[in-house]
Structure 1
């Protein structure tokens, strides 16, 4: 397995969606084999996410490393947006109260979370 010179970001439990996106971009650029994805991601986890990872891996009855898709689902179960989260409602109610830059940042964040195929 080769390791690209592209930076692999750390994950501490915040911004899961962004981290998963960056991981998948890294895997594509690096041509990472499927069976190495979770192992590679695991060395870039810290803080409360590392605590969760250790418990999750110990709880695997077979002690086998899960595939990337299974691992990401488990990450979303623990660190993903909550069921009551409604980014479309937030998006529709978004108003500028601070700087234009703050508004644009929030706009982009919500736009990324909204599933426009349902809109």
Structure 2
């Protein structure tokens, strides 16, 4: 099994895979940074060299924070703020992608809270129909929203 390469895109996804890789392999914490360095490619490789120069005693936790800071972009510095403002502007699939990405940046939250965030960002008509389904989880709400969009707009997948 090999640690996935990191090219500078989707740092949260890479961190999740790296942590799973280290957990499965029982990797000693002292080796995590060295193994991560081997997986850095292109701009990420050059950035890693600079971070090591600036932080001589870099920990894995600090590295993850630095990686997110550098490759996530300014809009994700506070995912809670971003989560409260995302809206379904086009297809439900695009909205779900954005929602799942932001939720993935946060520690586990109560299911009703996560579902509330999801519901709040839906277009009004979709939200009304999803509420009628009485979803019990964010996954139920997501599946219902996809069904509603298909019923309301079967050919385009977009509600105007």
Residue 74 (1) aligns with residue 66 (2): yes
1:24 aligns with 2:19: yes
Where relative contact order (Cα < 8 A, 6+ residues apart) is larger, the structure is 1
Q: Which runs of 5+ in 2 are unaligned?
A: 114-160
Structure 1 residues 59-70: aligned runs within 5 Å: 59=54, 66-70=58-62
**1:109 aligns to 2:109 (yes or no):** no
CA separation in 2, counterparts of 1:57 and 1:33? 19
Larger Cα-atom Rg: 2
Provide the rounded CA distance (Å) in 2 between the counterparts of 1:33 and 1:94.
Answer: 39
**Map of 1:15 onto structure 2:** 10
Within-5 A mapping of 1:18-97: 18-59=13-54, 66-82=58-74, 85-97=77-89
Q: Would you tell me which structure has more helix in proportion to its own residues?
A: 2
Q: 1:78 to 1:101 in 2, by over 3 A?
A: closer
Superposition deviation, residue 83 in structure 1? 7.7
TM-score (norm 2): 0.55
Is residue 69–residue 77 contact of structure 2 (8 Å, CA) maintained in 1? no
1:86-116 deviations in Å (ceiling 9; x for gaps): 4334333333232222121112112223554
